[in-house]
Amino acid sequence: MSEFSYEQVKHLAKLACIALSDEEIEAMKEDLQGIVKSVALISDIDIAGVEPTTNPISLPSHTREDVPGETLERDVLLEQAPECEDGMFVTPRILGDE
């Protein structure tokens, strides 16, 4: 698509639920044309043999081993709860009675 018509931009604005004045439609035509030209420039780049990357900068992984640590006893935790019943925390109901 080399040129955007007034009607095409008006249709796009309608699809996007955007109200544009005549002046804004004309400005949008130029903006859309600039975007199309930029994409065309990128599309013309020869990328044969270029490995895909997720990040152009190689970053070290800062993850740690998933090793279990010390845990608290159940009774100690339940003592600190505002309300508990039958060895479980009591929380406000957020869903229906189902």
Place of tokens 């990328």: 47
Residues 20 and 9: their CA atoms lie apart, in Å, by: 9
For the residues of 59-79, what is the DSSP string, one character each? ---------------HHHHHH
Q: Is the pLDDT of residue 10 over 70?
A: yes
**Using an 8 Å Cβ cutoff, are 20 and 7 in contact?**
no
Return the SS3 of 88. Answer: strand
Question: Quick one: tokens of 83?
Answer: 């309300």
Q: Give the global pTM.
A: 0.47
Structural domain spans, the chain = 6-43
Structure confidence by residue, pLDDT tens digits, 81-95 = 999 999 999 998 888
pLDDT digits (tens, 9 = 90+) for 24-82: 999 999 999 999 999 999 988 998 988 887 777 877 878 888 899 999 999 999 999 99
Say what the pLDDT of residue 60 is. Answer: 81
CATH architecture group of domain 6-43:
Orthogonal Bundle (1.10)
